[in-house]
Structure 1
Amino acid sequence: METVECTPSPTCLAESLRSVGYSMETAIADIIDNSISAQATAIDIFHDFLDEEPVLAILDNGHGMNRGELIEAMRPGGHGPLDARQAHDLGRFGLGLKTASFSQCRKLTVISRRNGMEPVGACWDLDRLHGAWQLSLLEPDDIQNTPFSQYTPSTCGTLVIWEKLDRITANKSSKKSYKDLFLEQMASSASHIGLVFHRFIEKEYDCHKVSFRINKIPVTPLDPYFSQHDSTQKLQQEDISLHGSTIAVKPYIIPHYSKLDGSARDALQKMGGANASQGVYVYRNNRLLARGGWLKLKSCKKEAYSLARVSIDIPNCHDDLWNLDIKKSSVSLPELVRAEIDTILERILERSIRTYTSKGQKLAEKKLALWVRLQGNKGASYALDRSHPLLDAFSRTLDDESRKRFDGILRLIEKGIPWEAIYNDRMGNNIEHMTPHSDDNRCEHEQSLIAMLRRQGVPEDKIRQISTALDIRCEQDK
């Protein structure tokens, strides 16, 4: 049998590698994986505009590389998925540095330094491949002339530099400038890093600690479980054995939104809101791979599940079983553990429903809600509370005929609630918890309501409760 060498075209293959599907956030996270695997304890991201073009650099203080190690690291597919890896290694396919970088830029430069050695550098420029995988090795003068060269590690570490960033685009209707889009992506990357690597930042997790900064501003961790909050319910961890390794499953019930302070609410918003962020969080060596959703064990996200979170820790020797993708951003649940994990999820979801329903009922009682929840044989429904002091006081100002018309209007309001639209907006975290109406005449309307309550003899303490419940701030003087 005759064989022939079929070397892929460097230009075609490189362009194909650019379309794997990385976003700016996931691409940066893939570079950070290499830094953490190199035992870095400090990672800095720098970005700037040179001649109106964005440039980005990622610097770590890991153990660095010598010349041979750098060449191997720059080789596409240098360390494959079938190779044995150290327990702390966050790598997968041996393509991350190249595919993540090429997904965002056309020029990749890496400068690295091992302890006691001179820095070494190498560069891939997709515009200069010319049909051959010819890696450019940098001379000392080349290193000095590279953007962000002032951050070249003085002792040990690695500096990754992206130039010719040509994947910053927007939809046709966007009026944002190229610069604004890039800065938005960097802001989004800060939140992504804070969530994906939150265990490396927070003290309570058992892994080596890493500090992250973007243009010298510290990255804040985003803990999806609010594990330091007094109201978080930390349930019993359950371990599942798979092929001689252990999968750790830890359920949480996060606090109801009403119990979160301003900073915690901001953190929840950055994670997409309670509904969007409910579900399973899969970690590999403390690095978050997949977040939210129920791994196809549940058909959809539900409001009553919004407080449920489950962390699942998997070892890096089972990547094939979990179908870990090249971006390390999605996994599939192995059939061998599906039933056990489904049983755990059923228990946590029952707990979430009880907590959510109980809290909702307490809030309704506490806040003199205008709406009441009615439980019937076919499910729950909602109606305006005719005995609410505000509605009752207004009703008593009307004659019998007008009171009937008023009740008819209330029934039309109850009947016309757009349940499906509200549900869709709620699930998409697209609800603004403020009145959509103008504040121009707000005080006039509110003072009129307070005056009406007083005319009807409603006690002052009850009026204060109504004002708090309905966010009435312009009370009329007595």
Structure 2
Amino acid sequence: MRLPPLAPDIVRSLRGLGYSAGSAAADLVDNSLAAGARRIHVDFEWAQAPRVVFRDDGRGMDRDELISAMRLGSDPRADRNPGDLGRFGLGLKTASFSQASSLVVVSKADGQQACAARWNLDRIDAASDWELEVGCPDELGLAGDLPIGPTGTAVIWENLDILLGHDGTIDKLYGTAEIVARHLGMTFHRFIESDRAQISVNEIEVAPWDPLALHAAEQVFSEVLEPAHIALRGSILPSPDGLDEEEMRRLAGPNEFLEQQGFYVYREDRLIVGGGWLGIGRSTQSWRLDKKYNLARLSVDLDNSQDVAWSIDVRKSTAVPPSNLRVELYRFASRVRRKAASRVELAGTPSSAAQSTSGPIPIWVLKGNGGVNFQLNRRHPLVARLRQGCVDPGALRSLLDAIERTAPRHGPNPAPRPLDAVAAARQFQIESDLGRLVRTVYVNARKAAGLSPEAARARLMEHPPMRQHEEMVVLLVENIEKELRVDL
């Protein structure tokens, strides 16, 4: 069947829209879900010729519907049924051509014979003729190798010139399959978790990955923006310090903590944007990825009537917040960011470990050896932090040894009495605890409550321990304020 010809530059543009293998696969899964599929199989096959096959148990299409589906484009402004994951009527073609030069679709509707259609860009280029091959599967050389049930559709990518490149290997094909599986697990995690769909890649069930980790979140924020009825949710993840390696890897996600912080925009429960700050920020400078916000993740839920307002692109992988909502998004995200930053700061201090015990962790420990020796507690969280960030462990050990050699002693050599040394150790602990308390209260007053430096200091001095150590508190506040001037 011949369709109206397309200029070569249009054909090339279909292949240059910036799809990754994961986003291209997600576009095809959208079509399956829109067709009512519950089971979706994705198979990366390395046989006589590598190919990728998508199969589903959806409603399927008859011949006329298949030909219509193979045409390019629909009106993106047209009203869509609630829950419809489609957008431009281009996804099947653009996603497929972004990875392969040949696209085959086989489909079977209820009570109909299976039908097939193929676009082959190499053939089109050679013949300068935009011709769609249509027929039964046998006529297109697809006899018997595509198991489709009473209804369903199979999409086949052949000639994987972009997905594999010119030097593609079996390792690259199966490596791509793993990447695609992780991407689908993130993009469709709500569908998988709610049992609306089961997705497998090479016969292995895709595991859902919820970026907000609501089952484990330390704190959850929620709000609805009216009149658009856009649901916002913020999550403070648990600190990795208390997780084992497997839990931490699972929580971090496909791209690790730094890349996964920020907003997750959903359209009809399908993930559109996976992380980042959507260009939100102070005045003309948008927020950047920063490790102190690694525990901050936020979701924005849209329906498909807001596609134009949010500039949803053809790949369904980018979104731009409308100008009239940016202030509200900034306000909501600022709350989550502040909480995440304070949580990271708290986790990075000895207080988090000390709070798990019945009292403060001593920096000095007593050792009897013909007298009483005071030695550094090598397990103290402060020492542990120094070790983690140390580029020269030998130098650090030498420093700790030197400190211990000059520690107070009680024995044959004149030295302060043990009681004096204990008092010194206690004073050190007081100063450490006070520093953490000052930082927590003052930073919260400045950032979360938005108080001026003067008002924040006044609130700080309402605490009795602060008044008892006023000179030390003043010095600490001066240093903290210098840091805040850089951050605010």
| TM over 0.5, shorter chain | yes
Q: State the 1:349 CA deviation.
A: 1.2
Partner of 1:95: 90
**Alpha carbons 1:38, 1:64 under 8 Å: kept:** yes
More helix as a share of residues: 2
The one-letter code sitting in structure 2 at the alignment partner of 1:217 is: I
Summarize the alignment of residues 272-311 of structure 1 with structure 2, pairs less than 5 Å apart: 272-298=255-281, 299-311=287-299
Summarize the alignment of residues 284-433 of structure 1 with structure 2, pairs less than 5 Å apart: 284-298=267-281, 299-361=287-349, 362-363=351-352, 365=354, 368-371=380-383, 392-393=400-401, 395-396=403-404
Distance 1:221 1:232 in 2: 20
Q: Of residues 20, 37, 40 in structure 1, which corresponds to 2:37?
A: 40
Deviations 1:210-250 (A, max 9, x none): 11111111111111111222x53222x211124xx411101
Partner of 1:122: 117
**Alpha carbons 2:188, 2:270 under 8 Å: kept:** yes
Q: Of residues 117, 129, 135 in structure 2, which corresponds to 1:138?
A: 135
Distance 1:152 1:70 in 2: 18
- Tell me whether 1:63 sits opposite 2:54 in the alignment: no
The one-letter code sitting in structure 1 at the alignment partner of 2:220 is: K
The one-letter code sitting in structure 1 at the alignment partner of 2:171 is: D
Distance 1:58 1:268 in 2: 29
Distance 2:182 2:345 in 1: 30
Distance 2:397 2:13 in 1: 67
Distance 2:335 2:137 in 1: 61
Q: State the 1:103 CA deviation.
A: 0.8
Query: Alpha carbons of 1:115 and 1:347: their partners in 2 closer, same or farther (altered >3 Å)?
Result: same
Q: State the 1:309 CA deviation.
A: 0.7
Distance 2:186 2:98 in 1: 22
Structure ID, larger Rg? 2
Query: Alpha carbons of 1:213 and 1:373: their partners in 2 closer, same or farther (altered >3 Å)?
Result: closer
Q: TM-score, normalised by structure 2?
A: 0.70
Partner of 1:83: 78
Distance 2:404 2:43 in 1: 66
Partner of 1:162: 157
The one-letter code sitting in structure 2 at the alignment partner of 1:345 is: A
Report the 3-state secondary structure (helix = DSSP H, G, I; strand = E; otherwise coil) of the residue aligned with 2:234. Answer: strand
Partner of 1:460: none
**Alpha carbons 1:11, 1:126 under 8 Å: kept:** no
**Alpha carbons 1:9, 1:131 under 8 Å: kept:** no
Report the 3-state secondary structure (helix = DSSP H, G, I; strand = E; otherwise coil) of the residue aligned with 2:318. Answer: coil
Runs of 4+ with >6 A deviation: none
Question: RMSD value over aligned CA atoms?
Answer: 3.0
Report the 3-state secondary structure (helix = DSSP H, G, I; strand = E; otherwise coil) of the residue aligned with 2:306. Answer: coil
**Structure 1 stretches lacking a partner, 5+ long:** 1-6, 375-380, 400-478
**Alpha carbons 2:252, 2:260 under 8 Å: kept:** no
- Tell me whether 1:233 sits opposite 2:185 in the alignment: no
Query: Alpha carbons of 1:104 and 1:40: their partners in 2 closer, same or farther (altered >3 Å)?
Result: same
Report the 3-state secondary structure (helix = DSSP H, G, I; strand = E; otherwise coil) of the residue aligned with 1:282. Answer: strand
Distance 1:355 1:55 in 2: 47
Q: State the 1:336 CA deviation.
A: 1.3
Q: State the 1:111 CA deviation.
A: 0.6
Partner of 2:482: none
**Equivalenced residues, count:** 369
**Fraction of identical pairs, as percent:** 35
The one-letter code sitting in structure 1 at the alignment partner of 2:218 is: T
**Alpha carbons 1:43, 1:58 under 8 Å: kept:** yes
Distance 2:153 2:54 in 1: 8
Report the 3-state secondary structure (helix = DSSP H, G, I; strand = E; otherwise coil) of the residue aligned with 2:145. Answer: helix
Distance 1:262 1:116 in 2: 52
Q: State the 1:116 CA deviation.
A: 2.1
**Alpha carbons 1:123, 1:138 under 8 Å: kept:** no
Distance 1:284 1:200 in 2: 12
**Alpha carbons 1:280, 1:311 under 8 Å: kept:** yes
Deviations 1:27-54 (A, max 9, x none): 1110111001111111000121232x32
The one-letter code sitting in structure 1 at the alignment partner of 2:161 is: D
Report the 3-state secondary structure (helix = DSSP H, G, I; strand = E; otherwise coil) of the residue aligned with 1:84. Answer: coil
- Tell me whether 1:256 sits opposite 2:239 in the alignment: yes
Partner of 1:193: 184
Query: Alpha carbons of 1:373 and 1:56: their partners in 2 closer, same or farther (altered >3 Å)?
Result: closer
The one-letter code sitting in structure 2 at the alignment partner of 1:369 is: P
**Alpha carbons 2:189, 2:208 under 8 Å: kept:** yes
